[in-house]
Structure 1
Amino acid sequence: MTAAPFSATDIARAGLTAQEYEAVVERLGRPPNRAELGMFGVMWSEHCCYKNSRPLLRQFPTQGPRVLVGPGENAGVVDLGEGVALAFKVESHNHPSAIEPFQGAATGVGGILRDIFTLGARPVALLNSLRFGPLEDARNRRLLEGVVAGISHYGNCVGVPTIGGEVCFAPTYSGNPLVNVMALGILETPTVMPSAARGLGNPVLYVGATTGRDGMGGASFASAELTDQSQADRPAVQVGDPFLEKCLIEACLEAFQTGAVVAAQDMGAAGLTCSTAEMAAKGGIGIDLDLDLVPARETGMLPVEYLLSESQERMLFVVEQGREAEVQAIFQRWGLHAVAAGRVTAEPVVRIFQKGQVVAEVPALALAENTPVYPREVLSEPPAYAQAAWAWTPATLPPDTEAGVGAQSWGEMLLTLLASPNLAAKTWVYRQYDQQVQNNTALRPGQADAGVIRVAGQRGVAATMDGNGRLVYLDPYEGAKAAVAEAARNLSCVGAEPLAVTDNLNFGSPEKPVVYWQLAEACRGLADACRALETPVTGGNVSLYNETRDAAGTAVAIYPTPVVGMVGLLPDFTRRCTPAWAAGQRVYLLGLPWGNHPPRGVSLGGSEYLAVVHGQVTGRPAAVDLALEKQVQHVCRQGIAAGWVQAAHDVSEGGLLVALAEMAIAGRIGAEITL
């Protein structure tokens, strides 16, 4: 094994800064070779090590009476009672979807499903949260169509229902769509399958599909801003096979039941590099791996290509010595590869061989845990754009009367709002998803504020994904609180008690002080809201550098968009609730009383009304009263359980006017409302 000097261009292409390269040399005690440089490049990327966000994530509450597995594993796990446990997680595939929307979105679904069944849980539901630029732009329409087709193709073929989600539009997402996918699974093993390698001498099995050159350096690609040259990065986009993944799910769950598998890790971002390094680092031991034994779909692959490939539908197992054949027989029956390609070693080093030679030798901790961290300074006061927005007052708007606002009547205004892509029905989208496969879906997309599936007996699980980038842009702290509150409110409106959160933080470049302020304030808001509503964070995903270049070549960041995935429990899924009211029912507004609200309790700041009717993105969003929010949701759930609340709907985008219209549409009957 020989080390080679690298140019500044080589180092930057690997995804490392000059200072990080020096740190690599220090950790190794020598310059890295080509394969090792690639390994550090992907493992030290923001996508894998969260070097800019890790200090902020530490403030999240992560423990609770129902939390069985928190951050650090492939997915979070919560206890549903009576021996049933739920695994759930959210992931992003933003950059790949911007380049190749169909495969980018499809493999996002495949990746999050692997996170779930790697723990020993059978995937039972999918949700997605999508953001695009205005549909007047043909490219944005192509991205929307491709992403939705990719999600539906993979989810439908693998046989997991899509039960909910959201689709939003804003100019800042043009060219940089957000594709966040959430999966839920029910544990089928007695305990959660660990990812830490153990047992000296135990064989390391490579299982699943073959390795090719697709997805090369995908983790580094996902950790850089999109440029005009990004369209040429199609090799960084993976290609998925949902039918093969279906076989992989069944084979893995069957193998786990034997007790022969002692640890498992999927090969997602950074491929073989990440799976070997993380399994070894978590176990405090090492792994030797022979690339000549790895099933390859292409000839002449270099070590760095094997190690950085993100070919889909692959896993790494540590198996009890002597039981390899037992596990291999299961995978062979499902038509999948299962090859003993390495062994667990005492020295905590990832050692890679090819043709009898050591081609990479790196301490596992240097790759997976002893990674760079950049605690950045947060702006001492809000940036100028936020202060200018907060100075706005409704006095600048045309006066409103009983007839309407300006020349527009209230009825015309309602139709204008309902025609907004953000508020309009998304039937075209969710009709493409299989919502009923597995025959456990109790509430489908478009039926209620959250999706619901039956999990055991009469019990049900509700799930939702929520975010509002415009609110977070105008006030990151309150906007993030509002996202958590809305997610919990959506669960409460179907009758479910909120249990826990998985979050996806979609932001621009953290190296820019304004963006880092947005990220820091949003994390503070998420932490405060999750703590107040008793919904601990069990894991999530961070996607930074979501930026594109405008016509002048200036980098433009997306709206800061934290997306909150939340799960809840219904003791009796037959007592679920929808927004569909019926004739003769009385309509009540539960929550903040009109004319008796605290300062900043009600605001047009960041509203859909202000953006659609007046073309303004300004104002300061309302402050979320978390204590009142908790009370309102408790009363709502209590009313649904007791049977005296027959229909419920949260007031969010579009305000009370749109909420009432949506309930009327759902119930196919109008109502007389007195304010």
Structure 2
Amino acid sequence: MTTFNDTVAAAQANPDLEQPYASLGLKDDEYARIKEILGRRPTDAELAMYSVMWSEHCSYKSSKVHLRYFGETMTEEMSEKILAGIGENAGVVDIGGGNAVTFRVESHNHPSYVEPHQGAATGVGGIVRDIMAMGARPIAVMDQLRFGPADAPDTSRVLPGVVDGISHYGNCLGLPNIGGETVFDESYAGNPLVNALCVGTLKVDDLKLAFASGLGNKVMLFGSRTGLDGIGGVSVLASDTFEEGAERKLPAVQVGDPFAEKVLIECCLDLYRAGVVVGIQDLGGAGLACATSELAAAGDGGMEIDLDAVPLRAENMLAAEILSSESQERMCAIVRPEDVARFREICAHWDVTCAEIGEVTDGEHLLIRHRGELVVDAPAHTIAHEGPVYERPWARPEWQDEVQQFQGVEKPTDPEAVKAALLAMVGSPALCSRAFITDQYDRYVRGNTVQAQHANAGVLRIDEQTHRGVAVSADASGRYTKLDPNMGARLALAEAYRNVAVTGARPVAVTNCLNFGSPEDPAVMWQFRDAVHGLADGAKELVIPVSGGNVSFYNQTGSEAILPTPVVGVLGVIDDVRESVRNKLGTVSGTEELYLLGQTFDEFGGSIWQQVSGAGLSGLPPRVDLANEEKLMEFFQQPGVVSAAHDVSEGGVAQAIAELAIYSNKGVSLDVSGVHDDVFTALFSESASRVVVAATDGAAVVRRAQELGIPVVKIGETIDEPVVRVEGQFEVPVAELTRAWTETLPRLFSHAVGANSVV
């Protein structure tokens, strides 16, 4: 097996040989373009830099033409609160009072399949450093996970390792994990998705950006030493070489040290407070190659770097290896000469290794020396910003019409059969409790978590004096998106928006992580393009800006692509987190009446019932009118109307009610005759723009809904007896629902726990 490391080493040892650019992921025309830019054959170090920076992961070469649509649909009203947006390490939003919030979600999919623990752990570490690079303190993480079938043998290898990696790194950092999703589907069997989200806070005036300016300013590398781990990591793994039957370049997955990162966080914050940082960039994908070229390209001059000054933890590293290493817990800062001593003093206080490795120069070239030789002499912007841009063919696949032909689902009518369906749904891997996973995460460290496990959205206190806070949710349905990519992306946006709104927060910004198959497949590019348009148009309709995002291509095993999975994160602001709406019954005295906001249709395309019943994936997903989501958001802007709320999404009203009853250990009596004339549809349809609310004053709920033009129907009330009763149909003890809901994942994975743990 030939690795990235082997390839560059062989090339440097034999300078007269033909350069192995194809083995580094470069096409013939890309290599020719590099020679044209330089006017000569590239050195091995230059070839390594261009190969990683022009990779799909770093350059977005297949997605740029479509991602531009986010900018084209951005209005002045949408962008006025965005302090940093698309193209920066993370989006930053002004939330008022001099405060700002930054958030971003990124993928670490392929490394997490190769080495689940370290792949997931370093995914968390990488997204945290993106937030640090904006001048912010990271305050919480979330995760979006997708695996193969829950009962598949390899899922028992991958899931425990991924969860252990996330919990190990996040818990050691002291960051609460406030939410996420775990999805099982055959399409992810050979290509799990591990998407990590991080939220951070900062003062508006403390915003930092990634640029190198100021002639003579110094380039300071600080954090962990540079080693051989992760060389060519994301740039090689996130490519078409990660295919069944192909020669795989599988470099060592990055190895993370969360304790080093925890210290690095505090060190960075002290450096920011001291005012000694002009610009800063984290070292993640493509390592020093990325940090130096991007800082220089975004600045007002060139840069000179001496690799001999880079602190190493491996002997005799080649220039290409030093530049391409993805060793974790490293940052690169631009510092004025008069501030270098103070910079070093702060790093020493935190016992953080730092080194002056270069300086900002005039001109536009990035010059890099190693062992006394000039190994890189190239215009920085050509490395960082002038990668190829492909307008790949896209076409609606021939099979799309067939998959959209709804094959129908069995709808039980016998009350006992409907009850059995409810228990099957609640206990299915698709809808069962994720406590087996989330109990491994620290959710309340730092003391500002208001809502996390089982919540509609994670809610955090930002200001301890005013109790101002934020709510965050991230959602996606690959099943919906395969049936209709445009509508699937809109539905992901709608659900994340609704989850945030139901807490009482006002949504203010969107981020995304777009996970798709090979961009060289026209069907995949059609899915991607339609999803981007659906998300961008939806954001415009909601007047909520897309502040940033990430693209992950080549998610497939062989020629079989994953379900197209656009993960959409939404950030909302809430004036007083003490008034946030929870999804737990019984927090007030007396009987609570239950109401359904929104309209229910016979919509089962892509539904969980379709999956659980074995009907196969077919039809159209639910339709969503985002104006209805705005109305629901406005409903929850008036505090005190409801005592609890639960959004309705996968599994329908039945799942929402079951979870409310389980969370609260509270009985519920339902009458769904006013929801739909078919009981099964009333219970399990997945129509969008719906929320179940509880209130002691039902008249106030009806009045508020009618003011906003929201359909509203009373569907029941709480009762003392611990059962869920559907009038005229069946009843099931809450204890039985709880057993069905809680036992599934422990039964499937308890035997695997410990096999992938790091002690």
Q: What is the TM-score when the length of structure 2 is the normalising length?
A: 0.83
The answer to whether structure 1 residue 106 and structure 2 residue 115 are counterparts is no
- Secondary structure of 1:584's match? coil
Aligned mate of 1:127, from 125, 138, 142:
142
Q: 8 Å contact 2:410–2:613 — kept in the other structure?
A: no
Structure 1: stretches of 5+ with no match in the other structure:
550-554, 595-600
Matches of residues 426-575 of structure 1 in structure 2 within 5 Å? 426-446=434-454, 448-456=455-463, 457-549=466-558, 555-575=559-579
Q: CA, structure 1 residues 160+470, in 2 after alignment: closer, same or farther (shift >3 Å)?
A: same
Distance 2:245 2:222 in 1: 35
Distance 2:336 2:280 in 1: 12
Q: CA, structure 1 residues 443+68, in 2 after alignment: closer, same or farther (shift >3 Å)?
A: same
Matches of residues 38-187 of structure 1 in structure 2 within 5 Å? 38-60=48-70, 61-62=73-74, 63-187=78-202
The answer to whether structure 1 residue 411 and structure 2 residue 411 are counterparts is no
Distance 2:445 2:410 in 1: 50
Quote how far apart the aligned CAs of 1:652 are. 0.7
Query: Which deviations, in whole Å up to 9, do the C-alpha atoms of 1:280-304 show, x marking residues without a partner?
Result: 0001421111011100001110000
Distance 2:16 2:623 in 1: 55
Matches of residues 195-594 of structure 1 in structure 2 within 5 Å? 195-225=210-240, 226-228=242-244, 235-379=251-395, 382-394=396-408, 397-398=409-410, 400-401=412-413, 403=414, 409-446=417-454, 448-456=455-463, 457-549=466-558, 555-582=559-586, 584-592=591-599, 594=600
- Secondary structure of 1:210's match? coil
Give the percent of matched residue pairs that are identical in Structure 1 and Structure 2.
45
Distance 2:13 2:118 in 1: 37
Q: 8 Å contact 1:3–1:33 — kept in the other structure?
A: no
CA RMSD of aligned residues (A): 1.8
Quote how far apart the aligned CAs of 1:667 are. 2.6
Q: 8 Å contact 2:93–2:102 — kept in the other structure?
A: yes
Q: 8 Å contact 1:132–1:177 — kept in the other structure?
A: yes
Query: Which deviations, in whole Å up to 9, do the C-alpha atoms of 1:248-275 show, x marking residues without a partner?
Result: 1111111111222111111111111100
Counterpart of 1:245 in structure 2: which amino acid? E
Counterpart of 1:464 in structure 2: which amino acid? S
- Secondary structure of 2:278's match? strand
Q: 8 Å contact 2:501–2:632 — kept in the other structure?
A: no
Counterpart of 1:556 in structure 2: which amino acid? E
Query: Which deviations, in whole Å up to 9, do the C-alpha atoms of 1:525-564 show, x marking residues without a partner?
Result: 1011111112211111100000113xxxxx2110000001
Quote how far apart the aligned CAs of 1:393 are. 4.8
Q: CA, structure 1 residues 515+649, in 2 after alignment: closer, same or farther (shift >3 Å)?
A: same
The answer to whether structure 1 residue 660 and structure 2 residue 676 are counterparts is no
- Secondary structure of 2:280's match? strand
Q: CA, structure 1 residues 231+502, in 2 after alignment: closer, same or farther (shift >3 Å)?
A: farther
Q: CA, structure 1 residues 147+398, in 2 after alignment: closer, same or farther (shift >3 Å)?
A: closer
Structure 2: stretches of 5+ with no match in the other structure:
1-11, 674-759
Q: 8 Å contact 1:3–1:31 — kept in the other structure?
A: no
Quote how far apart the aligned CAs of 1:316 are. 0.8
Q: 8 Å contact 1:99–1:233 — kept in the other structure?
A: no
Query: Which deviations, in whole Å up to 9, do the C-alpha atoms of 1:156-179 show, x marking residues without a partner?
Result: 001111111110000000021000
Distance 2:132 2:584 in 1: 36
Quote how far apart the aligned CAs of 1:520 are. 0.5
Q: 8 Å contact 1:2–1:33 — kept in the other structure?
A: no
Q: 1:17: which partner in 2? A: 27
Q: 2:672: which partner in 1? A: 674
Quote how far apart the aligned CAs of 1:642 are. 2.8
- Secondary structure of 1:531's match? helix
Q: CA, structure 1 residues 127+668, in 2 after alignment: closer, same or farther (shift >3 Å)?
A: same
Query: Which deviations, in whole Å up to 9, do the C-alpha atoms of 1:41-88 show, x marking residues without a partner?
Result: 100011001011111111124543321111111111111111111011
Counterpart of 2:42 in structure 1: which amino acid? P
Distance 1:193 1:662 in 2: 42
Q: 1:37: which partner in 2? A: 47
Quote how far apart the aligned CAs of 1:228 are. 5.0
Q: 1:552: which partner in 2? A: none
Counterpart of 1:452 in structure 2: which amino acid? V
- Secondary structure of 2:201's match? strand
Distance 1:211 1:103 in 2: 17
Quote how far apart the aligned CAs of 1:235 are. 3.2
Quote how far apart the aligned CAs of 1:231 are. 10
Q: 2:640: which partner in 1? A: 643
Distance 1:232 1:325 in 2: 46
Quote how far apart the aligned CAs of 1:385 are. 2.1
Quote how far apart the aligned CAs of 1:384 are. 2.4
658-667 or 341-350, larger mean C-alpha shift: 658-667
Counterpart of 1:560 in structure 2: which amino acid? P
Quote how far apart the aligned CAs of 1:566 are. 1.1
Distance 1:609 1:144 in 2: 24
- Secondary structure of 2:488's match? helix
Quote how far apart the aligned CAs of 1:138 are. 1.8
Q: What is the TM-score when the length of structure 1 is the normalising length?
A: 0.93
- Secondary structure of 2:21's match? helix
Counterpart of 2:351 in structure 1: which amino acid? G
Distance 1:415 1:29 in 2: 68
Q: 1:597: which partner in 2? A: none
Q: 2:8: which partner in 1? A: none
**Total equivalences in the alignment:** 650
577-586 or 252-261, larger mean C-alpha shift: 577-586
Quote how far apart the aligned CAs of 1:632 are. 2.5
